Structure 1
Amino acid sequence: IDKNYALKNNGKWINQTELQKQTKGKYPIHSQSIQAVCHKYLNARDSAKKAKQKGLDNKYPYKQKKYFNTKWANNGFIIHPNGTIELKMGRWERKNQPPIVVKIDKEQIPNGTVKEIELIFDAKHWKLMLCLSYENGEQPTTKKEGTIAAGDPGEIHAISAVSENGSSIIITGRKIRSIHRLRNKKIAELQKKMSKCKKGSRKWKKYNRAKQYILSKSEAQLKDCLHKTTKQLVDWCLEQNVKHFMIGDVEGVQRNKKKKRSKLVNQKLSNWCFGKLYDYLKYKLEAKGITFEKVDESYTTQTCPVCGKKKKPSSRNFICACGYSQHRDVHSACNILTKHLYGEFRPMKITNHKYLRIA
């Protein structure tokens, strides 16, 4: 597709109907696979537009990808009882193309209705893999009775939370930080070596493969840490019989251009993956019948709930001149909770505290 088609067409963005019209019959794959790519592009474009409306400096999709995951949905595939999967390729030059046949162990097919199959490339093991998305038929029921809890995400401590009954939890994010630091160090070393090579040369390709391996491995490690972190929080919510969980919305803190920061702080904030943390928490809590909500967290870290004075904490503890003191992350979570319950910041008595590390 012509990259400048949207500009040539009266200076307007290309819509879904026109995009599908432009791609129809141009690629030898199933029509639903082509539509999936179109939808992914349109969703990325809409997300960037919404972010720009909020004042964030997000970019519209502009890079051309060399490889792109292929999806088959609805009628695009057939799964046989013996484990054979047929991925349809649609029509090309007025002829039905033979399907891609993949034979796997029938025990690997999930017990449920498979909704989508995606072909992905695993850079860590340097091979293609099939990812099956399925529906197990279980419908979560929302809890009607229980307590309310609030959490505060952080860059050092992944998340801290408190409940109405005075229980609190802190889950450290130091392992996530260490993975980011090692990844950045290794990537910088490879980038330095690649800059001395001719692009496309044998040596350059060798370094590039090593770079993709490191990125893929670190991505898998980070995903594992985030899943463990969110599972620990969900288990704590079940222990405290939580029915509604609120979390501070830190969107915009990372991209605040008005605030001058050092390169080190900017690198730490750029590595802060709070968006994935929100997504994982949302679906895991809702699966257990706990409602999830993002709320405003403005001044929750700086405001003393006793005297109301604002002060930026310089250490891991918030200490006020009036005598109030509390761990800064627990203090912030308490302020988020009391603001929701009472409409103002109030002090809370923490009776039970838990500190967890990611193994």
Structure 2
Amino acid sequence: ELNKENVLGIDLGIDNLYTCVTNAGASFIIDGRKLKSINQYYNKTNAKLQSIKDKQKIEHTTLRQKRIARRRNNRINDYLSKAARIIINYCLNNDIGKVVLGHNEDFQRNSNIGSINNQNFVNISYGKLRDKLIYLCKLYGIEF
């Protein structure tokens, strides 16, 4: 049984995907630049394919666009799963029984931080991240 007095606080970000701190004072960061890089490559490649598609007057999404979108989604899903797993393993190893996530429902919808930053920010699925954490917390008896 994990100690419910020990708490891990998590703040979400772009360059630092998770910034985690415990009430014991220990902290760690999970890097988010990998996600930025995956999204940047996807956006660049998709823009090139979209340009070709527009010149050829093709209306529907092409197979190449679907393939790069599927690959991007798989890579992001893998990274988010691994990040959530790192947090849960940290909680289990350090007897932490409660996780608190700084999450605001509308913080992505109302973002206006420039077009490039918006593109980085909106492409990261913080909801998926939250759902993975909730699932793993329930699985291991950690309060969320």
Same fold (TM over 0.5): yes
2:33 maps to 1:178: no
Q: 1:46-65 to 2 correspondence within 5 Å?
A: none
CA distance in 1, matches of 2:109, 2:72: 23
CA pair 256-145 structure 1, distance change in 2 beyond 3 A: closer
The aligned counterpart of 2:20 is: 161
1:261–1:158 CA distance, 2 compared to 1 (3 A): closer
Letter in 1 for 2:65: K
Q: What residue in structure 1 maps to residue 133 of structure 2?
A: 281
Instruction: Write out aligned runs for 1:270-349 (5 A).
Output: 270-292=122-144
Paired positions, count:
144
Where 1:291 maps in the other structure, the secondary structure is: coil
Corresponding position of 2:120: 268
**Larger C-alpha radius of gyration, 1 or 2?**
1
* Separation of aligned partners in 1, 2:4 and 2:126: 29
**Offset at residue 199 of structure 1 (A):** 2.7
Question: Are the structure 2 counterparts of residues 283 and 220 from structure 1 closer, same or farther at C-alpha, using a change threshold of 3 Å?
Answer: same
- Which residue pairs with 1:223 in the alignment? 77
* Structure ranking higher in helix proportion: 2
Equivalent of residue 254 in structure 1, options 108, 125, 130: 108
Cα deviation, residue 145, structure 1: 4.6
Normalised by the size of structure 2, how large is the TM-score?
A: 0.91
Whichever residue aligns with residue 161 of structure 1, its letter is C
Residue type of the alignment partner of 1:287: L
| 2:35–2:124 Cα contact (<8 Å) kept | no
- Equivalent positions of 1:97-136 (< 5 A) are none
1:191 aligns to what SS in structure 2? helix
Structure 1 residue 251: Cα displacement: 2.4
Q: Which ranges in structure 2 are unaligned for 5 or more consecutive residues?
A: none
Identity over aligned pairs, percent: 29
2:127 aligned partner, one-letter code = G
Per the normalisation by structure 1, the TM-score is 0.38
Higher relative contact order (CA 8 A, sep 6+): 2
8 Å Cα contact 1:163-1:240 kept in structure 2 = no
Q: RMSD across aligned C-alpha pairs, in angstroms? A: 1.9
After TM superposition, the structure 1 = structure 2 runs for residues 29-68 of structure 1, keeping only pairs within 5 Å, are: none
Say whether the 8 Å CA contact 1:285–1:291 is kept in structure 2.
yes
Q: Give me the whole-angstrom Cα distance separating, in 2, the residues matched to 1:144 and 1:165.
A: 12
Gap regions ≥5 residues in structure 1: 1-141, 293-359
SS in 2 for 1:242: coil
Q: Is the 8 A contact 2:2 2:92 kept in 1?
A: no
Amino acid at match of 2:105: E
Judge conservation of contact 1:152–1:247 (CA < 8 Å) in 2: yes
- The residue that corresponds to 1:32 in the other structure is none
